[in-house]
């Protein structure tokens, strides 16, 4: 048996693939023989080897599998109700500026950059792809475009005006935590209590407890809906127990921030936990 006559339709030489790997078409053909034949065989002549078929299989596993290895996502999605300070946080992460306070965005802010706090660090640093999704209810469907790509989700809550918006924020967060794209991939979620520099702002512990209570109400009402009316939705919590974020399919944590004063260390820690520099 010889590979040099080309009767199998392959080139005699190896081909350089992506990432610099060398792929030998003859060996790929031999893998097919391995899959459909129980008989061991040898690699002859042009392969310059007397490897057994299973050794060829090992070679292909090392050389070819890496070609199809999926690159880890570097996308972080900022979302939450309008006025919670998402866009200000976006600018703080990008260039260390609050852009003079409140910024209302009707279109997603999107950019790929090295965090401003890391600009002076030496060596190669992995940039972050940050997406600020508008919080207006009519624009929330845009969120579905970015969630499947996310390495992490930051749900921003206005700690200053939390109580009037508690129910709306809880419902929005509930919808995110039950999305199939979030649950199946176990995308981590950070509940970021923003504007905590203000004296009258609520603490993150208070906000966490109130969100859990409200989500428990939504869980009870949604469970009464016919399964036929719920599409691609996962249930939250443990039956017979009050809801807590620790029961979620994915990791949910709570942190403080102030977009105006630039106190975003906990946000940056979350980002770098899931997007290694």
pLDDT digits (tens, 9 = 90+) for 162-196: 999 999 999 999 999 999 999 999 999 999 999 99
Nearest to 46 by CA among 35, 30, 62, 31: 30
pLDDT in tens, 118-166: 998 888 899 999 999 988 878 778 899 999 999 999 999 999 999 999 9
Helix (H) or strand (E) holding 246: none
The length of the chain, given as a count of residues: 277
DSSP state of 72: P
Round the average pLDDT of the chain to a whole number and report it: 79
pLDDT band at 1, cuts 50/70/90?
Answer: very low
**With contact defined as beta carbons under 8 Å apart, do 128 and 165 qualify?**
no
Q: What is the pLDDT of residue 271?
A: 97
Task: For residues 39-57, give the mean pLDDT.
Answer: 46
Predicted local confidence at residue 42, as pLDDT: 43
Closest CA to 86 of 178, 185, 193: 193
3-class secondary-structure state, position 277: coil
**Higher-scoring residue by pLDDT: 230, 175:** 175
| Whether the model pTM is above 0.85 | no
Q: Could you give the CA distance from residue 234 to residue 102 in angstroms, rounded to a whole number?
A: 35
């Amino acid at each position: 048996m010889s590979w040099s006559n080309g009767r199998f339709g392959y080139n005699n030489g190896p081909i350089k693939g992506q990432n610099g790997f060398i792929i030998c078409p003859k060996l790929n053909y031999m893998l097919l023989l391995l899959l459909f034949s129980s008989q061991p065989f040898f690699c002859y002549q042009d392969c310059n080897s007397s490897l057994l078929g299973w050794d060829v299989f090992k070679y292909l596993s090392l050389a070819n599998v890496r070609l199809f290895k999926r690159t880890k996502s570097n996308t972080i999605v900022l979302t939450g109700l309008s006025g919670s300070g998402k866009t200000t946080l976006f600018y703080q992460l990008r260039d260390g500026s609050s852009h003079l306070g409140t910024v209302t965005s009707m279109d997603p802010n999107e950019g790929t950059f090295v965090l401003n706090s890391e600009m002076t660090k030496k060596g190669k640093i992995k940039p972050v792809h940050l997406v600020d999704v508008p919080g207006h209810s009519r624009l929330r469907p845009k969120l579905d475009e970015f969630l499947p790509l996310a390495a992490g989700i930051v749900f921003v809550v206005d700690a200053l005006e939390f109580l009037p918006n508690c129910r709306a924020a809880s419902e929005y967060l509930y919808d995110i935590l039950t999305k199939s794209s979030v649950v199946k991939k176990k995308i981590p979620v950070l509940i970021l209590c923003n504007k905590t520099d203000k004296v009258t702002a609520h603490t993150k512990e208070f906000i966490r407890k109130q969100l859990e209570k409200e989500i428990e109400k939504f869980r009870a009402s949604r469970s009464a809906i016919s399964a036929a009316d719920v599409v691609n939705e996962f249930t939250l919590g443990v039956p017979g127990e009050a809801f807590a974020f620790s029961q979620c399919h994915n990791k949910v944590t709570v942190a403080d921030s102030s977009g105006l004063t630039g106190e975003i260390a906990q946000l940056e820690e979350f980002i770098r936990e899931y997007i290694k520099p």
